[in-house]
Amino acid sequence: MSAFKKLAVLVLAMVMATVCVCPVFAEDSIFDTSATGSGIKDTDGYITVKGSLSLDGGIPVTIIVATRILDGEEDVTATQIKNNFLNVVEYTRTITLPDSGNIDLAFYVNDSMDTGWANVYVSYNGGEELELIGEFEHVGREDINNLLAKFNNYEASTYPGTILTDMEGENTEDDIKGDEILKKIGADIDAYTAITAKTDFATILHGYKPAEGGFTAPVLIEKFNEAVAWMELRESSDTLSVLSKYNEVYWNVDIEEDSDFDSLSEEAKAEILSYVKTGGFVAAQALEDGFEEKVVLAIFKAATDRNVLEELFANAAYAEYFETVNELIADANLKGKKQINMMNYIVDNRETATTIEKLEELVEKAIKKYSGDDGGGGSPSRPSPSPDNDKTTSNIVVKVPSAEVSQPDEPSLPEAPKHPFKDVPAGHWAESYIVQMYNEGIINGKSSESFAPSDKINRQDFVKMIVEALDIAKVSEESTFDDVEKGSFYETYIMSAVNAGIINGVSDTTFGMASVIKRQDVAVILSRAIAEKLGENAGAGKSFADDGEIPEYAKEAVEMVSSCGLFVGDDAGKFNPANGLSRAEAAALISRLLAFINE
Alpha carbons 307 and 562: distance in angstroms, whole number = 30
Alpha carbons 118 and 78: distance in angstroms, whole number = 11
Q: What is the pLDDT of residue 262?
A: 94
Domain ranges in the chain with CATH number 2.60.40.1930: 20-138
Alpha carbons 510 and 400: distance in angstroms, whole number = 13
Alpha carbons 47 and 141: distance in angstroms, whole number = 14
Q: What is the pLDDT of residue 167?
A: 64
Q: What is the pLDDT of residue 174?
A: 52
Q: What is the pLDDT of residue 221?
A: 92
Confidence of residue 340 (pLDDT cuts 50, 70, 90): confident
Confidence of residue 500 (pLDDT cuts 50, 70, 90): confident
Alpha carbons 245 and 255: distance in angstroms, whole number = 12
Count other Cβ atoms within 10 Å, centred on residue 331. Answer: 8
What DSSP string describes 72-83?
A: TTEE-HHHHHHH
CB 534 within 8 A of CB 479: no
**Cα separations in angstroms, 273 against 291, 317, 321, 344:** 9, 22, 20, 29
**Strands 129-138 and 31-32, how do they pair?**
unpaired
Give the highest mean pLDDT range of 91-105, 430-444, 479-493.
Answer: 91-105
Count other Cβ atoms within 10 Å, centred on residue 100. Answer: 9
Cis peptide leading into residue 60 (ω within 30°): no
Q: What is the pLDDT of residue 112?
A: 75
Alpha carbons 513 and 111: distance in angstroms, whole number = 71
Q: What is the pLDDT of residue 18?
A: 28
Using DSSP, state whether 108 is helix, strand or coil.
strand
DSSP state of 109: P
- Mean of the pLDDT values across residues 25-36? 74
Level-2 CATH architecture, domain 20-138:
Sandwich (2.60)
Count Cα atoms within 13 angstroms, Cβ side, for 217: 24
Q: Give how far the C-alpha of residue 411 lies from the chain's centroid of Cα atoms, to the nearest Å.
A: 52
Query: What angle is formed at CA 294 by the lines to CA 291 and CA 295, rounded to 5 degrees?
Result: 85
**Cα separations in angstroms, 28 against 39, 52, 112, 167:** 16, 14, 33, 40
Q: What is the pLDDT of residue 14?
A: 28
Least confident of 152-166, 312-326, 476-490: 152-166
Q: What is the pLDDT of residue 298?
A: 95
The answer, yes or no, to whether residue 26 has pLDDT greater than 50, is: no
Count of all residues that appear for the chain in the document: 599
Alpha carbons 161 and 146: distance in angstroms, whole number = 15
Confidence of residue 405 (pLDDT cuts 50, 70, 90): very low
Q: What is the dihedral of CA 437, 441, 447, 449, to 10 degrees?
A: 50
pLDDT in tens, 566-591: 888 888 888 898 898 888 898 889 98
Q: What is the pLDDT of residue 431?
A: 86
Count other Cβ atoms within 10 Å, centred on residue 525. Answer: 23
The answer, yes or no, to whether residue 386 has pLDDT greater than 50, is: no
Q: What is the pLDDT of residue 284?
A: 95
pLDDT in tens, 453-469: 888 988 888 888 888 88
The answer, yes or no, to whether residue 235 has pLDDT greater than 50, is: yes
pLDDT in tens, 86-132: 888 989 999 999 999 999 999 888 777 888 889 999 999 888 889 99
For the chain, what is the mean pLDDT? 81
pLDDT in tens, 528-553: 888 877 765 555 677 888 888 988 88
- Mean of the pLDDT values across residues 515-519? 88
pLDDT in tens, 63-80: 999 989 999 989 999 999
Share of the chain above pLDDT 90, in %: 34
Output 164 or 211, whichever has higher pLDDT: 211
Share of the chain above pLDDT 70, in %: 84
The H-or-E segment that residue 322 falls in is: helix 319-332
